[in-house]
Amino acid sequence: MTEDRYEIRLSGSGGQGIIMAAIVLAEACGVYDGKHVCQTQSYGPEARGGTSKAEVVISSQTIDYPRATKIDLLLAMNQASCDTYFWDLKPDGLLVVDATFVDQLPTSRAIAIPFTQIAREEVGKELVANMVEEYRSGVEGKGTQGNGQNES
């Protein structure tokens, strides 16, 4: 049996829309791409500013374990998330960070995009940085086969 499980972890602070972005991603892959999907989330007790992470596991086969254990793609929207979750990334995994808040990259296999700055300048609200991330990472319209490269 071929392993086609793809694991994504989105991480940042409460209020950055991490969980909403994971829900949108999971729905896109499950409903529109026909994949088996499992989405889990974890957040601190604070309403805003506490830690937040959400995971999406995608497969063409039934998912037997809902948690991400070998991350293929890690989105870190702040430095603390990058430092904490980088170690769960597969050796050939891809790290995508919000360059607005992440200064130190622990690997050369990283893409830094200023999601929050883009949201602030183009939309006028930092609150939509999570959806800028979805669009800029190539998730929209490409399913799980996106190459992670910016096309803009």
What is the fold, at CATH topology level, of the domain defined by 6-144? Pyruvate-ferredoxin Oxidoreductase; domain 3 (3.40.920)
Q: Percentage of the chain surpassing pLDDT 70?
A: 76
Q: Are 104 and 112 in contact (CB under 8 A)?
A: no
Decide if pLDDT at 142 tops 50.
Answer: no
Mean pLDDT of 96-118: 92
pLDDT reported for residue 132? 64
Half-sphere exposure at residue 129, Cβ-oriented, CA atoms within 13 angstroms: 28
When pLDDT is cut at 50, 70 and 90, the band that residue 131 belongs to is low
User: Which three-class secondary structure state does DSSP give residue 135?
Assistant: helix
Of the candidates 104, 66, 101, 59, the one whose C-alpha atom is nearest the C-alpha of residue 86 is 104
pLDDT reported for residue 62? 94
Q: How far apart are CA 20 and CA 27, in angstroms?
A: 11
Boundaries of every domain in the chain:
6-144
pLDDT reported for residue 93? 95
Q: Are 11 and 77 in contact (CB under 8 A)?
A: yes
Q: What is the pTM of this model?
A: 0.80
